[in-house]
Amino acid sequence: MIPHYVDIPSFELVVIGAGGDLATRKILPALFAHHVSGHLSPGARVIAVSRRPTEDPNGALLWERISPFVRHADAFEKFSSFYERISFVEADATEPQGAARIVAALDRDVKVRRVFYLATSPTIFGPVCAALSGAGGVHSNAAVVLEKPLGHDLESSRAINDVVGAVFAEDQIFRIDHYLGKETVQNLMVLRFANAIFERIWRADDIDHVQITAAETLGVGSRGHYYDRAGALRDMVQNHLLQLLCLVAMEPPSSLEPDAVRDEKLKVLRSLRPISGDDVESHTVRGRYEEGAIQGEVVLGYRDEQGVDPARDTETFVSIRAHVDNWRWSGVPFYLRTGKRLWERRTEIVIQFKRVPHNLFREGAGPQVGNRLVIRVQPDEGIELYMLTKIPGPGGMKHRRAPLNLSFASTFGEDLPDAYERLLMDLVRGKSTLFMRRDEVEAAWSWCEPILQGWATTGQAATPYAAGTRGPVGSADLVNEVGRVWNEDDE
């Protein structure tokens, strides 16, 4: 069941770019879920800002757009009261006149929490912030939310942070990564630091390797123009996968205060072994999907997608062998993998423990493998611990691997909150633990940028793979060291 939020203050959430997919698919459905559950205070308001005029007197058009993405689709009777919370403003937020119209719709009481959610292209983050400040819309109780991508390299990321930082203080800037709002990801800290059984063995002495996978069956869809200039490394590794790696590898923070947690994540990013020059070819694999079949349906290859330039060698798949060079993780490889149009939708963290030092059982008794902890982030959130167990019955000590399964849905109920539901409420409460600090973002770019440069200088091309498969063959070769395989290849 959804947690009861008891300390949500009155707020006004200004969604700039309210006509876009992000608002329709994530922001407004998340707010509606809290409205249905009674979490929103009577004074909570939404100011939906769009350049296009909105003629929707009873909210029918808005409900039609957001209803496929809400968890409470059967709660239409509550939508009218939710719709009353929304004020629509037609304005170009980059222009002084548009910013003035937005500010005129806001509450003048500085005690009311004000959050500007920039659901727009990062190219206009600076102009929007400057215009809002010039119109008098930014005060000490205001915050701004920035969606990825924060630039396309380190220099452009710094430029965005500089222009936004000229208006908002660092503690007013919330750089969102929705992976950090997922229940399983948050539970990773509890799993590690509240359970002695894991805390004592979470190190190189006992762990053979770590796998982090974010596989999608979807293609680029309507994002072809953006994705063609980004690719899998910029779109997924620089943010989502590196954030997951940080939570796996970080040291215990001194507290759960935002900077205590983010300081430890930053140490991990700064401990990542650089991958550059010739190492890029031996430590990374690039791929690009071609025509294939997903769940029996034939799908286009990437170069035939709308908005894609066929001449560009954009990767839709990447796998990386990384190392965290510190005492805890010396010698433990971290395998990162993400891609589109793969065999299934799967995001997971796999902790592969080492084998027992001596095989007590005779050959042929069963597999001699180490324990494996699988943290399933999506679609079916939960945790599995794979152990070796004796097969019941006669026949000696034959054994096989079997899981202890903690399904979040069956344990805590089917109605698990969406990541944006958690993150939006942290925003209005001013809790920044699950958001990225500027130095984190820049440290991630500092590690990723040499890989991008290495691909360019070595001419490492994206290897074609058929849609519906597990990506390029080279990805299996990358992990196949001393008998290692990707998790699904060993199921």
Judge if the upstream peptide bond of residue 274 is cis by omega within 30 degrees of 0. Answer: no
Q: Which of 39, 178, 209, 240 is catalytic?
A: 240
Distance between CA atoms of 451 and 238, rounded to whole angstroms?
11
Q: What is the DSSP letter of 324?
A: B
CA R_g for the chain: 24
Pairing of strands 113-118, 11-16: parallel
Q: Are 149 and 47 in contact (CB under 8 A)?
A: no
Angstrom CA distances, 461 to 286, 328, 432, 452, stand at 7, 34, 39, 12
Q: What are phi and psi of 209, to 5 degrees?
A: -165, 170
Q: Does 240 qualify as catalytic in the annotation?
A: yes
- What b/e sequence results for 147-164 when a residue is b if at least 16 CB atoms lie within 10 Å of its CB, and e otherwise? bbbbbbebeebbbbbeeb
Task: Kindly tell me the number of DSSP H helices and DSSP E strands found in the chain.
Answer: 18, 17
According to DSSP, the residues that pair with 285 across neighbouring strands are 319
Q: Is 268 exposed, middle or buried (0-12, 13-18, 19+ CB in 10 A)?
A: buried
Task: Give Cα 161 to chain centroid, integer Å.
Answer: 20
Catalytic residues: 240
